[in-house]
Amino acid sequence: MRPELEIFRRSPTGPRLCAHPVVFVHGAFTGAWCWNEHFLTYFADMGFETISFSLRGHGGSGGRDIRSLASIDDYVDDLETVVDTLGQKPILIGHSMGGYVVQKYLEKHTAHAAILMASVPPEGLLASNAMMAFSQPDLFLQMFWLQAIGPHTLLRDRLGRAMLSSDVATDEGMIYFGRLETESHRALLDMAGANPVFLSPTDIPPMLVIGAKNDEIVPSEIVQHTATRYGADCILVDHIAHAMMLDARWQTAADAVLGWMKENLADKTEKPGKQNAA
């Protein structure tokens, strides 16, 4: 039985720019709250219907008592549940693990467009984890401890700097860091190679892959590789950290996404493609 999901919606506050709603999929350790700080309202103000939701076991969604058993396929089911309420093909925006969930969703479904933000690549976490373990063993170890004990204050300085730029206000950054929670062990195993993405470039909707030039968690080389793999557009944003939607320069990332959407999606005739799987 699918758990009840925490869902937030915002209607366009001005002229509707596109008939297709934007669905935001959060990454590991977070919840819908990470989109609600800035992106949900900002994109609604720019003419989009916006939806954010917490994956099972995260935020205010059900399933917290068995969160460690949730798989990536379970998270895809959660995304399906949300999309089924819309009546339109969505524009999917997934961050980090959420980008991986979007890719897995597209194996069997279609969308109006997909935007992968600092996303786990289709091959999973092995390459990025190996790069981190070799070049930044201290950060690699702190990621391990985040999963083991949660957002302990002893982890904040180093891990916090990897997630948010240093000019985020201290109190604000501490609030964000304190809201993190451990991730499903099974989902992490899935992204470590147990459930790789099988998605052909010929099967994807219009796609943007966006990342941070100096991201220490999903390096720019990984972002560029993902874009090349799918033949997608690629944008690298400077002076911003991994948690792009919460960073002090969040609007730079939002405007880059919005500019791509206006150029590629607004008032465009929908291209024929796969129908949603039954």
Q: What CATH number does residue 247 fall under?
A: 3.40.50.1820
Kindly state whether residue 272 falls inside one of the protein's structural domains.
no
Kindly state whether residue 2 falls inside one of the protein's structural domains.
no
Nearest CA-CA partner of 216 in 148, 160, 274 = 160
Mean pLDDT over 181-192 rounds to 94
Kindly state whether residue 124 falls inside one of the protein's structural domains.
yes
Strand partners, 209: 116, 234
| 87-96, 148-157, 205-214, 250-259: segment of lowest average pLDDT | 148-157
pLDDT tens digits, one per residue of 88-99? 999 999 999 999
pTM, two decimal places:
0.91
In this predicted structure, the answer to whether residue 42 has a pLDDT above a threshold of 80 is yes
Kindly state whether residue 214 falls inside one of the protein's structural domains.
yes
pLDDT tens digits, one per residue of 154-181? 666 777 777 877 666 566 767 888 888 9
Kindly state whether residue 59 falls inside one of the protein's structural domains.
yes
Kindly state whether residue 269 falls inside one of the protein's structural domains.
no
Above pLDDT 90, what percent of the chain?
Answer: 69
Kindly state whether residue 40 falls inside one of the protein's structural domains.
yes
Burial grade of 184 (CB within 10 A; 0-12, 13-18, 19 or more): buried
Nearest CA-CA partner of 13 in 44, 50, 54 = 44
The range of the structural domain enclosing residue 83 comes to 7-264
Domain count along the chain: 1
Kindly state whether residue 278 falls inside one of the protein's structural domains.
no
